[in-house]
C-alpha cells in the first residue's frame, strides 16, 4: 500500500537512498533552496524503502516546482526502484485533493523526466499541457582531446585565443577559497551582468560542491589584478558551467575566452568528461563552444473539473492550435 506524506523540509526524508544524479537532483540542493523560499513542500509517495518525492513550493492555491534561476533543470527525487512509475502516479492522484494546479518547469526530456511526469499526471486524471520554457546548450565530447575539440571551434575563437591568451595569468582551483570567491563577487559586481540573484546561496552551493570534490574554478589576472572568473563543477561524466563574469574594463583582453578554454582543457583532458552543459539561456556566445541544443519544458497539470482552471485551459488549447497551424 502506498503511503502519501507531505513535509516542509528534506531532512524528514534522510533515511531514503535517492538515485538522482546531477547538481540539481539531489537532497543537498533542495536543502539549500528551502532556506530561501516560503512554504516548501515535499510531496512523497512511499512503499517501504521505495519512494518518489516532488520538491514543490506553495504559491497560493497553486503548487509549483521548488527551483530558482541557478538551476539548469528540475526533477523529482526517486529511489530508482521498479515501483517508481506507480508511486509517481499515486502521488499525482493524491495531489488532486490538495491543489487544482501543479506547474513544473525546467524539465529535461533526454532522461525521460518530462515523459515520466507527463504520463503520471495524465494517468492520474489531470489535464496536462507541455510547452518549451528554456534552451540548453550542451557539448558531447565524443572522445575528443581538448586540442581536437579546439580545432573544431569557429575561427574567431581560435584567433582570439592566439592573440589574447598571454595577456592574462590563469589560476585553476578545485577547492573553494574564500578570498578567491570574494574576488569573483567583486568581478561580477563590475561586469555587464545583472545584479546577482542570491549571492549567499551561490556561495553555499560552491562550498558544498567543493567539499564533494566537484568544484572547478578559474581566475584570470592582468598585471596582478583579478579581471575574470568562472565557476564550473564536474559531476559524474558531465561538467556544468555555472557562472562566468569579467570586468567591463577588461573587454579588450578577452579574459572570458581564455578562461573558458582553460576550463574546457581541464575537464576534457584531466576529468575526462563525456559532456559539458552550459545551462539555460540562448546567449549567442554559447554557440561558439557548444554543438547541440536541448529544450527545457514547462508542464502545467490542471484539474479539469475546477472552474479556476478553465481560463488556463482556453489559453493552452489556443497555443496548441497556433503551434499546429505553424507546423502545418
**What pLDDT is recorded for position 326?**
66
Give the Cα separation of 148 and 146 in Å (integer): 5
Residue (of 175, 244, 237, 260) closest to 209 by Cα position: 175
Q: Are 29 and 214 a contacting pair, CB within 8 Å?
A: no
Q: Are 104 and 299 a contacting pair, CB within 8 Å?
A: yes
Q: Which three cell numbers stand for residue 185?
A: 563577487
User: 53 - beta bridge partners?
Assistant: 44, 77
E strands along 163-237, which residues? 169-173, 215-222, 225-235
Question: If you count DSSP H runs as helices and E runs as strands, how many of each does the chain have, helices first?
Answer: 10, 13
Residues with pLDDT less than 70, the chain: 306-307, 309-310, 321-328
User: 41 - beta bridge partners?
Assistant: 56
Residue with cell 519544458: 297
Q: Are 141 and 238 a contacting pair, CB within 8 Å?
A: no
Hey, which CATH number is domain 142-273, 3.30.70.20, 3.40.630.30, 3.40.50.2000, 1.10.150.80? 3.40.630.30
Q: Which fold has domain 3-135+295-327?
A: Aminopeptidase (3.40.630)
Q: Are 303 and 309 a contacting pair, CB within 8 Å?
A: yes
**What pLDDT is recorded for position 314?**
73
Q: Are 301 and 295 a contacting pair, CB within 8 Å?
A: no
Q: Are 226 and 187 a contacting pair, CB within 8 Å?
A: yes
**What pLDDT is recorded for position 308?**
78
User: What are the sequence ranges of the domains in the chain?
Assistant: 3-135+295-327, 142-273
Residue (of 49, 39, 42) closest to 12 by Cα position: 42
**What pLDDT is recorded for position 307?**
66
**What pLDDT is recorded for position 312?**
74
Residue with cell 519512494: 51
Identical fold for domains 3-135+295-327 and 142-273, yes or no, is: yes
Q: What is the pTM of this model?
A: 0.93
Amino acid at each position: 500500500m502506498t503511503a502519501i506524506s507531505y513535509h516542509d523540509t528534506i531532512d524528514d526524508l534522510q533515511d531514503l537512498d535517492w538515485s538522482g544524479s546531477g547538481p540539481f537532483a539531489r537532497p543537498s540542493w533542495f536543502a539549500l533552496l528551502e532556506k530561501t523560499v516560503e512554504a516548501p513542500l515535499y510531496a512523497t509517495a512511499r512503499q517501504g524503502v521505495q519512494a518518489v518525492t516532488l520538491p514543490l513550493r506553495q504559491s497560493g492555491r497553486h503548487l509549483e516546482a521548488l527551483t530558482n534561476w541557478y538551476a539548469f533543470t528540475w526533477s523529482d527525487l526517486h529511489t530508482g526502484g521498479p515501483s517508481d512509475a506507480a508511486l509517481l502516479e499515486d502521488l499525482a492522484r493524491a495531489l488532486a485533493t490538495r491543489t487544482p494546479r501543479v506547474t513544473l518547469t525546467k524539465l529535461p526530456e533526454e532522461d525521460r523526466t518530462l515523459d515520466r511526469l507527463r504520463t503520471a499526471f495524465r494517468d492520474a486524471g489531470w489535464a496536462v499541457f507541455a510547452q518549451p520554457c528554456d534552451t540548453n546548450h550542451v557539448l558531447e565530447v565524443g572522445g575528443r582531446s581538448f586540442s581536437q575539440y579546439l580545432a573544431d571551434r569557429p575561427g574567431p575563437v581560435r584567433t582570439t585565443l592566439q592573440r589574447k591568451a598571454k595577456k592574462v595569468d590563469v589560476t585553476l582551483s578545485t577547492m573553494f577559497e574564500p578570498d578567491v570567491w570574494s574576488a569573483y563577487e567583486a568581478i561580477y559586481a563590475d561586469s555587464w551582468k545583472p545584479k546577482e540573484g542570491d549571492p549567499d546561496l551561490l556561495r553555499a552551493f560552491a562550498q558544498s560542491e567543493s567539499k564533494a570534490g566537484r568544484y572547478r574554478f578559474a581566475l584570470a589576472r592582468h598585471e596582478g589584478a583579478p579581471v575574470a572568473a568562472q565557476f564550473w563543477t564536474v559531476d559524474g561524466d558531465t561538467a556544468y558551467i555555472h557562472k562566468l563574469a569579467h570586468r567591463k574594463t577588461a573587454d579588450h583582453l578577452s579574459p572570458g575566452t581564455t578562461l573558458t578554454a582553460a576550463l574546457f582543457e581541464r575537464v576534457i583532458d584531466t576529468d575526462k568528461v563525456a559532456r559539458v552543459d552550459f545551462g539555460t539561456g540562448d546567449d549567442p556566445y554559447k554557440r561558439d563552444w557548444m554543438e547541440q541544443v536541448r529544450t527545457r519544458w514547462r508542464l502545467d497539470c490542471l484539474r479539469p473539473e475546477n472552474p479556476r482552471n478553465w481560463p488556463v485551459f482556453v489559453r493552452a488549447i489556443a497555443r496548441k492550435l497556433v503551434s499546429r497551424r505553424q507546423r502545418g
